[in-house]
Amino acid sequence: MRTAASELVGIDVPIFGFSHCRDVVAAVTNAGGCGVLGAVAHSPEQLDIDLTWIENEVKGKPYGVDLLVPEKFAGAEEGGLDPSALRSLLPEEHRAWVDELLERYGIPPLPEDDRSFRGIGGMRVDPKSMAPLLDVLFAHETRLVASALGPPPAHFIERSHAAGIPVAALAGNLHHAERHAAAGADLIVAQGTEAGGHTGLIATMVLVPEVVDAVAPVPVLAAGGIARGRQLAAGMALGAAGVWCGSVWLTTEEAETPPVIKDKFLAAGLGDTVRSRSLTGKPARMLRTPWTDEWERPDGPGPLPMPLQPLLIGEAMGRIHRVSAKEESGANDLVTYFVGQVVGSMNTVRPTRRVVLEMVDEFIDTVQHLGALIGEE
């Protein structure tokens, strides 16, 4: 399947698989696509370990790395603040509200030596804390870098292009896509509201053709609600040069998704997600649970901006996840994670390679079916 996107990074099928799990990234790449590692919560040391591991697994095949590069965040005027300065900005009202919530749901404190699931509290979104990640990224064999939540900064574009690495940028509306293209992005990911994680309000079916026409000849990937071959074919029919998938990998055999969350995903329906600022401070689609409902209460304090919200709830998430496997507990009720509306069709656990190959097979069947409608052999 030769498209502008597949030619850009040198892959056999234009399927770009985003995941925070290095095993999934390697498996997507080895199946003929391009695995993309979400590295926003990585330390430089862990990123180096994971990229080295991926490279050993894929043996020269292309993979990418995705970082959050938002324009607006707490401390942006200063170019970013250190963790202690950020913590000083956390309102006591919010701290007290989170403490009361955890107490009401019966969530025990963490043991002193337990650092489990505090990654979301260490999100790196400012230039100062991201610089070491970029140093690691460019010291490896990365073949694609992706920028989310804002147009790629000039230094990001310049350094990537100097290294011969194309830059992808995610857009949830037409204006954002045009700004990404003007900034020099080589690949635009038009992400509809169906998608998991940070997303806008416009549906994939509406967004993709508008972005394709607006940024041509820059190639576009369709994202949001894509987990099977018919959806891959739909994205291509809308003018995209490939697809960007994230949610579908969360229930694969390789995924590091905690079992309690994976079980929730497998049981969820198409309407069981919600856009919420309760995890990162920016609107992101996730599984709807009492956690997301509590943050929507009119008598609550409301989420803080990024990166204050993840800093506020980092330890709370650790406490919830530590005991969430206990059925019929408050933690089991509260626990949530990013996922798109396609979760309603994610009802089996399969190897990542099988997901990719089944997408390709169904894509071929769909194209042949469409050809038959107009009398093509």
Q: What is the pLDDT of residues 136-153, one digit of tens each?
A: 999 999 999 998 877 888
Q: What is the pLDDT of residues 269-293, one digit of tens each?
A: 999 999 999 999 999 999 999 999 9
Residue 340 belongs to some domain of the structure = no
79 has pLDDT over 60 = no
CA distance 320 to 325: 9
Token pair listed for 9: 């990074």
Residues 6+ apart with CB under 8 A from 76: 126
120 has pLDDT over 90 = no
Which CA distances in Å does 89 have to 40, 58, 75, 179, 329?
Answer: 21, 43, 10, 31, 32
Average pLDDT over every residue of 119-147: 78
3-state helix/strand/coil string of 313-332: HHHHHHHHHHHCCCCCCHHH
**C-alpha torsion angle, residues 56, 58, 64, 66 (rounded to 10):** -60
Instruction: Residue 194: give its domain's CATH number.
Output: 3.20.20.70
Q: What is the pLDDT of residues 40-63, one digit of tens each?
A: 888 899 999 999 999 999 999 999
Q: Are 248 and 215 in contact (CB under 8 A)?
A: no
Q: What is the pLDDT of residues 102-112, one digit of tens each?
A: 999 999 998 87
Residue 269 belongs to some domain of the structure = no
Q: Give me the pLDDT at residue 132, please.
A: 85
Full residue range of the structural domain in which residue 8 is found: 4-73+125-252+348-372
Residue 300 belongs to some domain of the structure = no
Q: Give me the pLDDT at residue 87, please.
A: 84
307 has pLDDT over 90 = no
Letter for the amino acid at 366?
Answer: T
Residue 339 belongs to some domain of the structure = no
Residue 361 belongs to some domain of the structure = yes
End-to-end CA distance of the chain: 19
| pTM for the structure as a whole | 0.91
Residue 199 belongs to some domain of the structure = yes
Q: Give me the pLDDT at residue 1, please.
A: 84
Q: Give me the pLDDT at residue 80, please.
A: 56
Ramachandran sector of residue 184 (left: φ over 0; alpha: ψ -120 to 50; beta: rest): left
Q: What is the pLDDT of residues 5-27, one digit of tens each?
A: 999 999 999 999 999 999 999 99
CA distance 283 to 118: 20
CA distance 110 to 283: 28
Please, which pLDDT band fits residue 263 given cuts at 50, 70 and 90? very high
75 has pLDDT over 70 = no
Task: Quote the Cα angle for 337-339-345, to 5°.
Answer: 130
Q: Give me the pLDDT at residue 42, please.
A: 87
State the total domains in the chain. Answer: 1
129 has pLDDT over 80 = no
Residue 186 belongs to some domain of the structure = yes
Q: What is the pLDDT of residues 316-360, one digit of tens each?
A: 999 999 999 998 899 999 999 999 999 999 999 999 999 999 999
Please, which pLDDT band fits residue 126 given cuts at 50, 70 and 90? low
Please, which pLDDT band fits residue 2 given cuts at 50, 70 and 90? very high
Express the helix, strand and coil content of the chain in percent, nearest 5 each: 45, 15, 40
Q: What is the pLDDT of residues 206-257, one digit of tens each?
A: 999 999 999 999 999 999 999 999 999 999 999 999 999 999 999 999 999 9
CA distance 260 to 351: 19
Average pLDDT over every residue of 93-117: 87
Q: Give me the pLDDT at residue 127, please.
A: 59
Token pair listed for 49: 């370990």
Residue 202 belongs to some domain of the structure = yes
Token pair listed for 255: 């995924």
CA distance 82 to 74: 11
CA distance 226 to 341: 9
Question: 3-state DSSP call for residue 161?
Answer: helix
Q: What is the pLDDT of residues 151-172, one digit of tens each?
A: 888 888 999 999 999 999 999 9
